[in-house]
Amino acid sequence: MSVSSAASDQTVCTPLPVLGRDVTVPLVTGGEVTYAALDYAASAPALQRVWDDVAAYAPYYGSVHRGAGYLSQLSTDLFENARNTVAEFLGCRPADQVVFTRSTTDSLNLLARVIPADCQVFVFETEHHASLLPWQDARVTYLDAPSTPQQAVRTLERALADRDPHGPALVCVTGASNVTGELWPVRELAAAAHAHGARIVLDAAQLAPHHPVSVTDLDVDWIAFSGHKLYAPFGSGVLAGRADWLQAAEPYLAGGGASRKVTRREDGGVAVEWHETAARHEAGSPNVIGAYAIASACKALTEAGWDSLVAREQHLVRTVREGLAEVPEVRILSLFGDDAPRVGVLSFVVEGWNSSHFAAALSAEYGIGVRDGLFCAHPLVRTLLGSDPQSQGECGAPEAAPGEKSLNAIRVSFGAGTPDEHVERFVAAVRELVRDGAKWRYRTEEGRCVPAV
Ligand SMILES: Cc1ncc(COP(=O)(O)O)c(C=O)c1O
């Protein structure tokens, strides 16, 4: 999978309209600026198109599935059609199921609940905690951080070769790192998994908003992603893929919607027949608007065209990387090296600066929203920084003196709605802060840096 070759600059498009694009925020130094939202990896703004679709549907919103009224039937149709749209967006196989969840975290926890009892799980220590932690009850092997994509494949192959070849196994891997933005060799990892009789789930939380993702092309067994990172922040996520383990397991949640028939047993208990469709794991009243919003985002991205979306984002990636390369105090974090293909997610440290202090100054003095910390990927950030991420620095004083290791990092991330001006302002602000220092005083409040007044 290569993003750099996906499109040329000739096809660069304008940003897709998103909500909040005209919002202004106050600066501590006086005046207001347009807010530069550069924290897409956490949550991306809603696409205007998604908002408009949701607003157009909202008056027709009704109860789904058993409702007899017109609006209930309409809402049921929209909900089930949203499943089909997502299946198409993800290039699903005909027998795959699309389950609507709350988020990627929810999707991976659902999968962890349905894997066979004797399943062995293989996961790299570099994963986001949502991929790293749900398997704690399973027989899980944590794989060391690789330093190249090829090494990742070799590490997985070795681990799989050593496993009990008879039992079921599952590999969980990210498509794009939420820390470095680097792409993982998903197709090759899937081939290795399958060659050893294992299945693979792709955590596409950071890949799907930036790059076309196909179950079929990548030959993965499941894909998980979140609506709020895909410009559809209405509380829904997706787990899509093979139906058999989903159908064989007890429902994730027990309740209405998941059950087809419930009767009293002679012994006084209750007998339940569970659905075998996706509804089995969607007990309770579903988030129809959330699912509809995800489907709308899938359509909007497809219609905008991935070639031009990718080209535009790569142009922004280059602007940031080239701009930061001119500031010797900045170190961009990378597992796979400078040439690794990546999406619009970059983390870095600034020599002599506490990351929280730096992020606070970007916000308060430049109206730029980035993120600082460990990004729910503590083992990976520990590896990249070579330091213990449990310790937090005080923002008054630099956490790391020149030449010392930083304790946490700053992450800038962007996507389809980001105008050039936002990343240009960011690069200029980094340069200015490093050269001149902060113009304001900051203090630590509940572990975070905030302007002193
Ligand atoms: C790679 C990755 N996986 C999983 C998640 C979890 O997503 P959510 O918080 O939407 O469940 C994130 C969130 O940042 C992520 O970056």
User: What DSSP line would sit under 343-392, residue for residue?
Assistant: -SEEEEEETT--HHHHHHHHHHHH-EE-EEE-TT-HHHHHHHHTS-TT--
- Which one, of 340, 86, 127, 339, lies nearest residue 222 by Cα? 86
Q: Which residue has the higher pLDDT, 25 or 390?
A: 25
Residue 260: which pLDDT band, with cuts at 50, 70 and 90? very high
pLDDT of residue 3: 42
The tens digit of pLDDT for each residue in 132-149 reads 999 977 799 999 999 999
Centre of ligand 1 to C-alpha 188, Å, is 22
- How much is the average pLDDT of 15-43? 98
- How much is the average pLDDT of 36-48? 98
| pTM across the whole model | 0.94
Listed by start position, the domains of the chain span 9-45+305-451, 49-302
Percent of the chain surpassing pLDDT 70: 93
- How much is the average pLDDT of 346-373? 95
Handedness of CA 53, 59, 63, 68 (dihedral sign): negative
Cα distances from 294 to residues 86, 98, 287, in angstroms, run: 8, 12, 11
The tens digit of pLDDT for each residue in 166-190 reads 899 999 999 999 999 999 999 999 9
- How much is the average pLDDT of 20-38? 97
pLDDT of residue 7: 44
pLDDT at 366 > cutoff 60: yes
- The rounded distance, in Å, linking the Cα atoms of 412 and 38 is 6
pLDDT of residue 388: 60
pLDDT of residue 412: 98
> Can 298 be counted among the known catalytic residues?
no
Query: Ligand 1: which residue has its CA nearest to atom 7?
Result: 104
Catalytic residue among 92, 119, 298, 376: 376
Beta strands in 107-221 (DSSP E): 120-124, 139-143, 169-174, 199-203
Place of tokens 């000739």: 10
Q: What does DSSP say about strands 169-174 and 199-203: parallel, antiparallel, or unpaired? A: parallel
Look at residue 237 and give its three-state secondary structure. Answer: strand
- The rounded distance, in Å, linking the Cα atoms of 357 and 361 is 6
- How much is the average pLDDT of 342-358? 94
Centre of ligand 1 to C-alpha 128, Å, is 7
Percent of the chain surpassing pLDDT 90: 86
| Ligand 1 atom showing the smallest separation from residue 376 Cα | 14
CATH superfamily of 9-45+305-451: Aspartate Aminotransferase, domain 1 (3.90.1150.10)
- Which one, of 174, 136, 139, lies nearest residue 159 by Cα? 139
Q: Do residues 6 and 310 lie in contact, with contact meaning Cβ atoms separated by under 8 Å? A: yes
Q: Which residue has the higher pLDDT, 398 or 36?
A: 36
pLDDT of residue 448: 82
pLDDT at 217 > cutoff 50: yes
Centre of ligand 1 to C-alpha 172, Å, is 13
174 ligand 1 Cβ < 6 A = yes
Probe target for ligand 1 pocket from 40, 101, 104, with the most ligand atoms within 8 Å of CB: 104
pLDDT at 347 > cutoff 60: yes
DSSP 94-123: TT-EEEEESSHHHHHHHHHHHS-TT-EEEE
Q: What is the CATH number of domain 49-302?
A: 3.40.640.10
pLDDT at 74 > cutoff 50: yes
pLDDT of residue 138: 72
Query: Ligand 1: which residue has its CA nearest to atom 13?
Result: 42
